[in-house]
């Protein structure tokens, strides 16, 4: 355990920040899974709606520094490609 006051405060902040980051990361993963679930079900309309709801969540995760912007772009691109692919099949 830290002895210096500033180190104790830092430890308290780290616990709080970790809980916050875990909640945001969970929200990000849930939004991704909702799109994938609709794609697997073959529901293009539902997948498009889920994708539109997921994009702001993905972008806000980038803004908060949880994931890199290239990772977000990759996820959005792949999800969108799979949704477009459903329309052609």
| DSSP code per residue over 47-79 | HHHHHHHHHHHHHHHHHTTSS-HHHHHHHHHHH
pLDDT given for residue 8 in this prediction: 96
Tens-digit pLDDT profile for residues 19-54: 999 999 999 999 999 999 999 999 999 999 999 999
In this prediction, residue 2 carries a pLDDT of 86
Confidence grade of residue 89 (pLDDT, cut at 50, 70, 90): low
Q: What is the pTM of this model?
A: 0.88
Domain ranges of the chain: 5-88
Give the per-residue pLDDT at 1.
77
Q: What is the average pLDDT across 4-15?
A: 96
Which residues fall within 8 angstroms of residue 21, CB to CB, at 6 or more apart?
64, 66
Please give the CATH superfamily to which domain 5-88 belongs: Ribosomal protein S20 (1.20.58.110)
Burial class (CB in 10 A: 0-12, 13-18, 19+), 87: exposed
Question: pLDDT grade, residue 70 (50/70/90)?
Answer: very high
């Amino acid at each position: 355990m830290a002895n210096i006051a500033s180190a104790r405060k830092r430890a308290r902040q780290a616990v709080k920040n970790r809980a916050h980051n875990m909640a945001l990361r969970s929200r990000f993963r849930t939004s991704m899974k909702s799109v994938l679930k609709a794609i697997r079900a073959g529901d293009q309309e539902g997948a498009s709606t889920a994708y539109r709801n997921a994009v702001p969540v993905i972008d806000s995760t980038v803004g908060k520094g949880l994931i890199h912007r290239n990772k977000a772009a990759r996820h959005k691109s792949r999800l969108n490609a799979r949704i477009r692919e459903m329309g052609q099949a």
